[in-house]
Chain A
Amino acid sequence: GAGVSQSPSNKVTEKGKDVELRCDPISGHTALYWYRQSLGQGLEFLIYFQGNSAPDKSGLPSDRFSAERTGGSVSTLTIQRTQQEDSAVYLCASSLWESTDTQYFGPGTRLTVL
């Protein structure tokens, strides 16, 4: 079946602009995760959704970052007033039920803020 998909695959934006990153999880997966990976670094957890609710948003780096999930499926990560330090690969993952389940990752969105 289809895996986790993310769009766009690449996004170049100017400092100060807003961007939206989209994640389509595997059908039927109730848990969805967003991570950020800067060049040569490990994975930084951002947020976790169980259904449409986010039990923990404290991984979001600042109030410029927000995420929502509707219909228990697609999720959007929004970064407002982008800064150069936001440049990174944003990875989305989904799992069947909860955070202890195996996560399946998408290919990521590479964000470059000029």
Chain B
Amino acid sequence: LAKTTQPISMDSYEGQEVNITCSHNNIATNDYITWYQQFPSQGPRFIIQGYKTKVTNEVASLFIPADRKSSTLSLPRVSLSDTAVYYCLVPSSGGSDYKLSFGAGTTVTVRA
């Protein structure tokens, strides 16, 4: 089971880049890494997913080093509306253990 570790919180200012790193030392060969965003009183929503190297979409970039034991979510030029909790998820694929290991989440606070 790939357990994940993230920083508890991060503060930033509008217009800055925010980078959140998630450690997943026991990631399995077939596991993808997915990041979710959660606003208060809402369910999490998908941001980005990757397997290796770099993935970019209209919202964020995801950097995954060659050993895949960590990943970094990069939010470019954040705004106040990016204040949320960000989770990385590494599901266990294969075998009989389907526990899904969400990290404790990183609370990102963006200030004006």
Contacts and interface: CB of A to CB of B under 8 A. Distances in A.
B105 A99 contact: no
16 contacts: A4-B43, A35-B102, A42-B102, A42-B105, A43-B44, A43-B87, A45-B99, A45-B102, A55-B96, A91-B43, A99-B93, A100-B91, A102-B34, A102-B46, A103-B44, A108-B43
Contacts of B71: none
A93 B43 contact: yes
Given A45-B101, A48-B100, A56-B97, A100 B30 contact: yes
A104 B47 CA distance: 11
Nearest to B85: A42
A86 interface: no
B96 to A, nearest CB: 6
- Interface magnitude class on chain B: 20 to 34
Interface of A is mostly: loop
Contacts of B93: 98-100
Contacts of A33: 100
B97 to A, nearest CB: 6
B100 A100 contact: no
A109 to B, nearest CB: 11
A103 B87 CA distance: 13
A59 B43 contact: no
Interface in A54-93: 55-56, 58-59, 91, 93
